Chains A and B, each alone.
Chain A
């Protein structure tokens, strides 16, 4: 697409600062949020490249080192579990799963929830009533029962976790977006957009959704840890990922059973989980302050 700068080379353009750029500057000044971002980034990198550095596989059994506490010389930096599997590699592998569940499920709920809520709020009336009643009905379904049913019918598969969590999470998103849409819909610039001949589709995607992304961005950073927790909970109940694959929730579950004998099996995965949740929450708080400075 050609921009004004390409088409109009004869004038020197003054670059404006968008609201996003403003928010970015405020975000950069928020120390807690920035530290959290760096920690999270470091964690993400460790989780991704960790298994290649370590030299062990997550499902590799080391019969010489069973229930070994953390030690540098054996290469088992965070110790081993009852089968002699390297905890560091398992935490990395579990972290991949947990973060992936968190991010993918959130993206799914974002895609469905934002469109659903914006369309319901924008058109209002009967469309709104029908769409939101569907949301209410889905809300009323017992989540755990639903997950167990899925597992029974389709077997245990990581994809089912994504589907199950995504199906539940977009409901909250749809409600939040609908509420925001109702308030934006009455602003004068929406009328101005109609006057400019914008179609309903364009009004929703060009004028309404960009203006509610601030709230959505905050909500997303708070949804990711929530989803990670839900996955941990499912794994804790034995409904999550299948051995030998693992997730942070599953690791915490195993560690909790051996808490007195091998405390490192609980401490390390639990701290990773807690650290991630804290980081996401701090980033969410920072984003909220950055995007809406008046609300602080």
Chain B
């Protein structure tokens, strides 16, 4: 496989759309009546370079997990294209995806639930090697497992222990070791820290950050908490109801967010200083998240947006550049202070 030149995107996503067919909720529905379509991910574009971390934030149900699952082949896209290293991987069969697992790996949300309780830690970490490199001699396989364990902060002596003998943070380290043992180039992290408590979160984020720099990984980091994403990402993408609302460099996003939704999200991050936190004007989004089965016309955020007017309900705002490296999908992105 050809290696990408530095600077070329490793993972490229264009106009990705993922839809689910749901049976109608009406009490008169029959198995053959028309199904409702839920658009979980809509026209998402993104590119990811080696050594770069893209953070994805959004409320629950905004499609970020579906996006992640689509990028690793656990979910079929409805439309759009995914390229890895310039190769179209959108419609690979099962076998094609299996080959790709050497390059694209994933860290899961629930650390304990993502480990098979009947397998030792060593067996769990060796599982990708067993399946993806069946010709690798057993000795080498176990040596690889032993070598990766200290790198994620686990003692190699624990190789024969079982997941239930570890804490949540340690289990997540096992999950990271399992993803990295095949030396992938892309790592997708689907809310890897949301099930952990805050101090452990910080440790895991630091670990991912170090490993990413060390292995020159292209990393997609999903969270529903901006504070978590801020620390690890080079760029941040904000999603709402399956659509990309804004994308910009991490620094720029936190200094001067263009999109009203991003600013609302930023407003919900508590400040570490209690006096400043108290002095701050509370910014709470009004209203409920609309049903993705029946999204608002025009801009999907308009029902909760303080700037919304007629234009927003008629025309879908395109994701456009406001200043260099900063994109927002809002008609009034330039007018925000």
B-contacting residues of A (Cβ < 8 Å)?
1-2, 4-5, 7-8, 11-20, 187-189, 191-199, 202, 206-207, 210-211
Contacts and interface: CB of A to CB of B under 8 A. Distances in A.
Nearest to A210: B118
Interface stretch (B160-168, B221-229, B256-264, B291-299): B160-168
Interface of B: 72, 74, 98, 101, 105-106, 108-110, 113-122, 127-128, 130-132, 138-139, 142-143, 145-146, 155-162, 164-165, 175, 178-179
Contact of A202 (B122, B131, B143): B131
A29 B71 CA distance: 49
A2 B157 contact: no
Contacts of A197: 98, 101, 128, 131-132
Contacts of B142: 2, 4, 7-8
Contacts of A17: 161-162, 165
B116 A193 contact: yes
Residue among B74, B127, B139, B143 with the highest chain A CB neighbour number at 10 A: B127
6 contacts: A4-B146, A7-B139, A13-B157, A16-B158, A189-B116, A206-B119
B157 A11 contact: yes
B101 A4 contact: no
Given A191-B114, A210-B116, 10 more contacts: A1-B138, A8-B159, A11-B156, A13-B157, A189-B114, A191-B74, A192-B106, A192-B108, A196-B132, A199-B98
Contacts of B164: 19
A56 B30 CA distance: 71
Given A7-B143, A11-B156, A191-B74, A196 B101 contact: yes
A16 B108 contact: no
Contact of A188 (B105, B108, B127): B108
Contacts of A18: 118, 120, 162
Contacts of A194: 74
Given A188-B109, A193-B116, A8 B146 contact: yes
A187 B139 CA distance: 31
A4 B159 contact: yes
A5 B160 CA distance: 9
Given A187-B113, A188-B109, A198-B127, A14 B132 contact: no
